[in-house]
Amino acid sequence: MAVRKPDQPDLIHDLQSIYRSWFSNHPDVCFMLPVDQHQDCDIRRRICVRCRSLLAGHQTKCPDCQGESLIDVWVPAMTGQTDEGVFFQNRCPSCDARGSLTLMGSRAASLASVWMGRLYGSRYNDHHKLIAFSDSVQDAAHRAGFFGARTYSDTVRAALAELIEAEGEGQPLSLLAERAPRFWRKRLGSAEDFVATFIAPNMTWLRDYEALQVSDDGRLPAGSDLATLVAKRLEWEVYQAFGLRARIGRTLERQGIASVGLSPARLEQASAELHQCWREEIGQLADLGQDRVKGFLVGFLWRLRTQGAFYHPFLDELIQARGKPYVLTFSRFMPYYGIGVRPPALVTLESVSQYFNALHQQKGSWFYQWFAKQIATDGAVLATAEYRQAMTLLVDRLARAGLLIEKRIADQSVWGLSAEDWLLTRHVQHLSCGHCGHRVQVPASDLARWIDLSCLRNTCNGSYRIPNESPPDDTFRRGLPRRLVPAEHTGLLDADTRLAVEQSFMQGNRPWHINLLSATPTLEMGIDIGDLSTVLLCSVPPSQASYLQRIGRAGRRDGNSLALTVANGHPHDLYFHAEPTRMIAGEVEPPGVFLRATAVLERQLMAFCFDRWVALGPENAKIPMQLGMMLNQAETVGNRDFPANFLDFVDQHHGEIITEFLALFPELDEPARAHLDRYLAGDGSQERPSLSWRLDNRLKELAASRKDWTRRIDALKSRIQALEKEPEDERVLEELEQLRAERQALMKLRRDTNARHSFNFFTDEGLLPNYAFPEEGVTLQSVVIRRLGRAEREEAGQTRSYEKISYEIQRPAQSAIAELAPLNTFYAKGRAVQIDRVDLSAGNSSPQTWRLCNNCHFMDNIDVHGDRHSACPRCGSSQWADTGQSQSLLRLRQVYATADDRDSRIGDDSDQRAPRFYNQQMLVDIDSSQTGPAWHINDETLPFGFEYVPRAVLREVNFGEPRSSEREIEVAGELSSRPGFQVCRHCGKVRSPDKRQQRKFEHA
C-alpha cells in the first residue's frame, strides 16, 4: 500500500503520509496486490523495485531509472463517489466485504488484551488481579474500556468450551444456545454472579448493574430483569460464536475446539432434491453431477453461516427495518452493529438493502462467482446465463427442506438459516488451500466433502487439502470463566471515586469487583494497592526510576512476580527493546528541580506572598473556602475583600517581598531576578502577565462563564414557560424534556463551580505549587445524557425520560491544543466524548484577527495593534499584507461535549484512540534585541552551533485537519492546507466539515 497522486507514477511510501491518507479515506490511497502472469484482474500494473514507480502493465523497463526488476501487481479500483467528491472505499477487492481492510500490525492494546485473556484463563494463575500502566490519562481510560470489552469474548468462549465438553457433542446449535444461560446460572450459583460474569460491555450502562457494583449486600435491586437480559445476550453470543464471528480472532472454530456442520442426512437430502430440480428446470445443467451440487451447497451454506445468516426471533425488528442496524440500538441486550461492525446478513433474491445478501445480484457478488466456479464449468459454462433462475430454485428447495426460514417485508421475502439442523462437534479438522493458503476448519465428519473442494476465495483457483503443519493448541481454560473487570486510575478522578476504585481492587472478591487497574504514573508511588503478583507496562517508561517504581508494585506478597513490558513502535521503546538491560539494570537518577526555572519560581513566589499576607496583612486577610464566594467578591464593585485586599498588599509591599524571596535563592542570575521582579510588579501587559493580572484575569473569565450559564439558564426557563402554555403534543413534550434536562445540567455546572475548593482552583490554574505541576490549561465541561427506563422513572417519581450527568476535566494547554480541539474525541472516566462546542464567553476566548508571516515565525494581533505594516517587521517579507496571511484565531479556554451515556462508553471498536491528524505548528518569535552569546563547533565538516536566547515567545497554533480540497497557505516557510474549524460566533457550536452532518447542525 502507498499514496499515489493522480497521473503520477511515483509511489509515496512515507508512513505518516500513508496513515493520514488511510484514516481520512483519501482517494490517493493505492492498493497493490501481487499477481502471477496467468491470473485475471481488471487493472494490471508493474512496480519498479529500484525506484518504486508504478508503470503500465506492458512495460519491461522503468523509464525513470532504467531498472528491469519489475513486479506484476493488481491495482483494484477502490474509490467511491459522494456529493463531497471522490473518497477511498474500504472494501475487500477479493470478497467484497465492507470495512474489512485494516493495517497490518498489532497495537499495544490488542497485544495486551490477548496476553490478559491467556493470563486470566490460565489454570496456573490463582491471583486474578493486574495493573496496566499507561503514560497518558486518555490511553489509560481507553485501555480500561478496551481491555474489558475485548476480553469479554474470551470469557464467553471459555464458557462455551466448557459447556460443549460437558454436554454439547452432537447437539443442535439452537438447543445449545438455549441451554447455555441455564447451565451457567446453575454452575455460578446466583443471579448476581451470573450477571457479573456474562454481562456484555455495551450493557454495563444499565442502572441495575451499576447498583450491583456499589451495593453493600451484593444483591440486584428488587424486581430487576437484568439476569433475563444477560441470559438473552448469552444465547445470542452462541449464535455469533458459530456464525457471524466464527472466523474473527481466536474463536472456538479457528482454535479447533468446536465447530458446527449441517446434518449429513439433511445435506444429502437437500443436494439430491436441488440436483434433480436444476437438471429438470435448467437445460444447461442437464448433465450436472450430484457431487458438484453437493460441493456448491457446502460452500454456499458455509458462506451464509459465516455472514451471520442464522435466523432468530431477536432479529425480527432488524428484518422489518430492512437490515438497518440502528433498530438494534433500542434493544437493551443486543450488541452494537454499525460503523466498522457489520450486522448479520440474511438472504434475499432481489436487492432489499445493502445489509442483506441479494442472490440475484451478479456484479461483485461472491455467490455469483461461486456458482460460476463450482457449477458453470466444463460443459455447463453457459449456465451463468440462468444464474437468477438457479438461485430462485435454490432458495425454494432449501426453504421447503426446512434449511431456510422465510420472513416477509412488505412484498419481499428474507431468508435465514435454521439453527436446528446445524450440529455441534468437538472433532474439528483443519484444511488449507494448496494455492493461496486460505484456512478453514470443518467437522471431521464433513472432511470427505471438503477435500478437493474449490477455494472459497473468488480470485483463487486452488482447492482444499489437509495441511502438513500442526493445528493450533487448545488454550482455553477449563472450569469457571473469569471476567476481567477494569477501571481507570488517573489524576482525573475525584478523591471519592479514586478511593472507591482502590478499595474495590484491594478488597473485592466477587465477580463484579475491579480486578484490573488501568493506571497512569500517579499510581507509581504513594498509594497502597495491596498484594499483587502481575503488572503490565503498555509502553516502555521514560526513565529507569519510573520502570522500577512500576514493576515494584508486584511481588510484595511472596516475592514472585510477573512484569511484562510492551515496546511500541517509537524510537524510545525500540531502543530499550534492543537493549533491555539498560532499562532493567540502568542507573537511577534522583529526581531534581531546575531551580532557575522561572515557571517553578513563579508558583513559589505566589505561595510566599500568601504567607507574608497572612502573617503581616490586615484582619480580613482571609481566603474564601469556595470558589463561588471568591467570584462574588471579585465581581462586586468596590469590594475590598479577597482578592482585592491581597493584591493591594502585594502592591504595597512589593519591594520587601521580592527582596526576602530572592534571598532564598542566592544562586539566581540577574535575568531570572529581573523576571521575578517584573512578574510581581507587573506592567498590565498580556504579553508578560504578572501575578496580579493572572489572578484577576482568570477570576474574571470564570465569572464571565458563570454569568453566561446564568443567562442561558434564564433563557431556557423563559422558553420552557412559553412551551408550557402551548397545547400538548408529542413535539412539545419532547422539546420540554430536552430543555429541562439542559437547564438542569447547566445549573449543576454552576453549582459545581461555586462549590469548588479555592486552593484547588489556585493549583489547577498553575498559580500555586503542586506535585503534578499543572500549567494554565483548558477546561472540558462534559454533559452525559442518560435514558431512564419506565421502572427507573416510577421509582424516582419522575416524568422525564432523561437525566444528565456533568463532569469537569482540566488539561494543560500544551496537550489541550489537540486533545480538546473541536470535534476531537476525549477519553476519560470510562467514556469517549466529542468536543462539540467552544465557550466564547471565557475571557479572552473571543475570535481575534492575526496576521502570520509566510517566511518567518512572526505573527501579530491586528485587532489589538492594528494592521500597521505593509511588510513583515521581522524579515521584511512582502507577502505579509496578502489576504491569505490574515487568519481568525481563537484562544482555547473552555470547551463542551454532550454525549449519550450508552453510546459514549468505551469499548473495543478500536484498539487505539481515534486518531486525528492536525496541522499544528509551533511558532517561535525571537526579537532581534533578545539575543545572547552563540557558539559553534570549530570544524567545517560538522556544522553545528547554538545560541543563548534569554527570552522568546512561543505560540502553538492548531490549523485544523488538512484536507485536499482546501487551498494551501504558507506560514513560516511551510506550505500546507489550513482549513481551520467552523465555530458559530454566537453560541460556539462546532460545525462538521462533513456535508452530511451539516444538514442536521443544531445551535446551542
Instruction: Report the CATH number that the domain containing residue 570 is assigned in CATH.
Output: 3.40.50.300
Asked if residue 620 and residue 575 are part of one domain, the reply reads no
- Please state the rounded mean pLDDT for residues 388-392: 93
Regarding whether 709 and 597 lie in a shared domain, the answer is: yes
Helix ranges, 797-929 (H) = 813-819, 862-865
248 pLDDT exceeds 90?
A: no
**Region 529-539 average pLDDT:** 82
Residue that terminates a domain, selected from 587, 608, 634: 587
> Are 581 and 603 in the same domain?
no
Residue 530 is predicted with a pLDDT of: 62
Residue position matching grid coordinates 489437509 = 466
Set of cell numbers at residue 569: 513502535
Say if residue 691's pLDDT is above 80: yes
Helix axes 691-724 and 644-652, enclosed angle (nearest 10): 170
Provide the percentage of residues in the chain whose pLDDT is more than 90: 32
Q: Is residue 196 part of a domain?
A: no
Q: What is the rounded average pLDDT of the residues 163-179? A: 91
Could you tell me if 437 and 290 lie in one domain? yes
Q: How many CA atoms lie within 13 A of 718 on its CB side?
A: 6
User: Based on the domain organization, do 391 and 509 belong to the same domain?
Assistant: no
526 pLDDT tier (thresholds 50, 70, 90): low
Contact between residue 504 and residue 515 where contact means Cβ atoms under 8 Å apart? no
Greater model confidence, 411 or 859: 859
Helices 207-214 and 191-198, interaxial angle, to 10°?
110
Residue of 238 and 32 predicted with greater confidence: 238
Confidence of residue 287 (pLDDT cuts 50, 70, 90): confident
Can you give the C-alpha Rg of the chain in angstroms?
Answer: 33
Helix 644-652 × helix 654-663 angle, to 10°:
70
Say how far apart CA 524 and CA 947 lie, in whole Å. 38
Question: How many Å apart are CA 86 and CA 963, to the nearest integer?
Answer: 13
Across the range 912-934, mean pLDDT stands at 82
- Which pLDDT value is given to residue 739? 84
Sign of CA dihedral 612, 628, 841, 825: positive
The pLDDT of residue 882 is 92
* Residue 743: predicted pLDDT: 85
Phi (first) and psi of residue 446, to 5 degrees: -95, 5
* Statement to judge: residues 55 and 133 lie in one domain: no
Question: How far does Cα 187 stand from its chain's mean position?
Answer: 36
Mean pLDDT, residues 353-381 taken together: 86
Residue at 809 is within a domain: no
Give the pLDDT score at 923: 93
pLDDT given at position 429 = 93
Q: Over pLDDT 70: what percentage of the chain?
A: 90
Q: Does a structural domain hold residue 637?
A: yes
User: Is 792:828 a contact under the CB 8 Å cutoff?
Assistant: no
Which of the four pLDDT bands, split at 50, 70 and 90, describes residue 902? confident
- Could you tell me if residue 854 is inside a domain? no
Banded pLDDT at 771 (limits 50, 70, 90): low
Q: Give me the chain's average pLDDT, please.
A: 85
**pLDDT tens digits along 70-79:** 888 888 888 8
pLDDT tens figures, 629-686:
888 888 887 777 888 888 888 888 889 999 999 999 888 888 888 888 988 887 655 5
Q: What is the pLDDT of residue 744?
A: 82
276, pLDDT greater than 90? yes
pLDDT at position 41 is 60
Domain contains 285: yes
31 and 116 co-located in one domain = no
3-state secondary structure 199-236: CCHHHCCCHHHHHHHHCCCCCCCCCCCHHHHHHHHHHH
114-140, pLDDT tens digit by residue?
888 888 777 777 788 889 999 889 999
Same domain for 576 and 449, yes or no, is no
Other CB atoms within 10 A of residue 226 CB: 23
Can you tell me the mean pLDDT for 576-593?
Answer: 82
Please report whether residue 223 resides in a domain: no
Report the C-alpha gap between 727 and 780 in whole angstroms.
Answer: 38
Counted domains in the chain: 4
Which is more confident, 236 or 342? 236
Report pLDDT for 584: 86
Confidence of residue 42 (pLDDT cuts 50, 70, 90): low
Overall average pLDDT of the 895-908 stretch = 85
Domain termination residue (choose one: 544, 560, 587)? 587
pLDDT on residue 404 = 95
Give pLDDT, residue 782.
Answer: 85
Q: Is residue 980 part of a domain?
A: no
Looking at 720, 742, 758, which one is the last position of a domain?
A: 758
CA–CA distance, 483 with 151 (Å, rounded to integer) = 8
Give the pLDDT band of residue 842 (cuts 50, 70, 90).
low
Residues 595-640 pLDDT 10s: 677 788 888 999 999 998 888 766 767 888 899 988 888 888 777 7
Residue 847: pLDDT over 90: no
What average pLDDT does the segment 278-305 reach? 91
Same domain, 738 and 689: yes
CA angle at 868 for the pair 865 and 873, rounded to the nearest 5°: 95
Query: In angstroms, rounded to a whole number, what is the distance separating the alpha carbons of residues 4 and 14?
Result: 11
Domain limits for position 51: 2-88
Is there a domain that residue 203 lies in? Answer: no
- In this predicted structure, the answer to whether residue 450 has a pLDDT above a threshold of 90 is yes
Contacts of 889 (CB under 8 A, 6+ apart): 847, 848, 849, 850, 957
Q: Is the pLDDT of residue 38 over 60?
A: no
**CB neighbours of 45 closer than 8 A, spacing ≥ 6?**
32, 54, 55, 56, 57, 72, 73, 74, 75
Going from the C-alpha of 834 to that of each of 93, 136, 781, 900, the distances in angstroms are 33, 18, 11, 11
In this structure, what C-alpha cell is assigned to residue 177? 444456545
Name the DSSP letter for residue 454.
Answer: B
pLDDT band at 843 (very low <50, low <70, confident <90, very high): low
Q: How far apart are CA 393 and CA 402, in angstroms?
A: 14
Q: What is the pLDDT of residue 620?
A: 66
Helix, strand, coil tally for the chain in percent (to 5): 40, 20, 45
Per-residue pLDDT band at 525 (split at 50, 70, 90): low
pLDDT higher than 90, residue 868: no
In a shared domain, residues 542 and 421: no
Pick 1003 or 780 by higher pLDDT. Answer: 780
Residues 363-380, mean pLDDT to the nearest whole number:
85
Clarify whether residues 583 and 599 are in a common domain: no
Residue 349: predicted pLDDT: 94
pTM: 0.75
Per residue in 707-735, pLDDT (tens digit) is 888 988 999 999 999 988 888 777 787 78
* Mean local confidence (pLDDT), 222-238: 95
Give the tens place of pLDDT for each residue, 418-428: 999 999 999 99
559 with 603, same domain: the answer is no
pLDDT tens across 903-913, in order? 888 887 665 67
Closest of 682, 265, 276 to residue 445, by C-alpha: 265
- Residue-wise pLDDT for 952-961, tens only, equals 888 999 999 8
